[in-house]
Amino acid sequence: MAYIEMSQVAKTFAASGGSLREVLSDVSLSIGRGEFVSILGTMGCGKSTLLKILAGLIAPDAGQVTIDREVVRGVRPSAAIVFQNYSLLPWFSALENVRLAVGAAFPDWPRDRQRQQAVRHLESVGLGHAIDRRPGQLSGGMRQRVAIARAFAIEPELLFLDEPFGALDALTRDSLQQELARLCSVAGRPITTVMITNSVEEALLLSDRILPMTAGPRATLGAPVAVELAKPRSASELLHDDHAAGVRAHVIATLTEDLARSRSITRSGLQQAGQVRLTASAKAPASLAEAERRRKANGPAVNTTLAAEGEG
């Protein structure tokens, strides 16, 4: 039995006007200990709901989740969650925000040690100079760094990331992605990570496996794709790599096919859009010079973001 097992989970929400909206139906997945898995889908496909169910923030209507053979009924002590909107408490400084988490996770530690733990983790994300600032006095990137420090400060075995870099500008996003990969690798113990994202490149950069998610309502997961590349990876390396190109093509094809099938939009238009992307990224370059030339021609098309047809 895998470390995380989700079997036949369904979730329905009451939509406006009293009607019901089935967001997830019959979703199953399994994740091994120490694995980094990305769930990739368009906006509004229900992947956030899926993550909240995995993390124990909300309960499924049907099916169940087990982690380490235990049925999930609430957030586990060994789990940390990072949200897209940082979720810091604005009346506390960066240090106090992290300390609150440390204090709750390690109530038996003396106050000094709790404080040191918080400071050390803020320093490890490069915020040693800003520990006394409040979230309102920090940039978006810095706030997300605090949130990441808070997540790692409780020394989690499980990390749930809900579009952690979605609200950041491209440059900040790149550096924070690298930071996250580094923190996972230096943790010294396996951290099982589930990340929600709508960026294929982000998923390629960080994950061992990508689970494409079909568009909701009634979302389910497509066939998983393994990313068999050595870590750490770099964005430019991924652009030229054959294996990455194959994974990218597969994932995009799964998602765009599904989009065209599940929505009553003009089919040809979508397939065209899909093909344009595929030709731009799927064909592997013949040589390094060729790749360089193509990269210049294409511009910085690093983040192949699937933001189409958002439903909020």
Considering the rule CB under 8 A, would residue 206 count as an interface residue with another protein?
Answer: no
Considering the rule CB under 8 A, would residue 75 count as an interface residue with another protein?
Answer: yes
Q: Using CB under 8 A, which of 15, 62, 71, 89 touches another protein?
A: 89
Nearest to 187 by CA among 149, 221, 160, 217: 149
Considering the rule CB under 8 A, would residue 138 count as an interface residue with another protein?
Answer: no
Considering the rule CB under 8 A, would residue 308 count as an interface residue with another protein?
Answer: no
Nearest to another protein of 162, 201 (CB atom): 162
Nearest to another protein of 100, 181 (CB atom): 100
Nearest to another protein of 78, 305 (CB atom): 78
Q: How many CB atoms lie within 10 A of CB 135?
A: 20
Nearest to another protein of 48, 256 (CB atom): 48
Nearest to 203 by CA among 156, 250, 171: 250
Considering the rule CB under 8 A, would residue 167 count as an interface residue with another protein?
Answer: no
Q: Using CB under 8 A, which of 59, 64, 68, 92 touches another protein?
A: 92
Quote the CA–CA distance of 192 and 99 in Å, as a whole number.
23
The alpha carbon of residue 259 and the mean position of all alpha carbons in its chain are separated, in whole angstroms, by 21
Considering the rule CB under 8 A, would residue 100 count as an interface residue with another protein?
Answer: yes
The CA angle 270-272-274, to the nearest 5 degrees, is 70
Considering the rule CB under 8 A, would residue 105 count as an interface residue with another protein?
Answer: yes
Per-residue burial over 36-62, b if 16 or more Cβ lie within 10 Å, else e, is bbbbbbbbbbbbbbbbbbbbbbeebee
**Token pair belonging to 191:** 């951290």
* Contact positions vs another protein (CB under 8 A): 55, 57, 74-75, 77, 79-81, 83, 85, 87-92, 100-101, 103-105, 134, 154
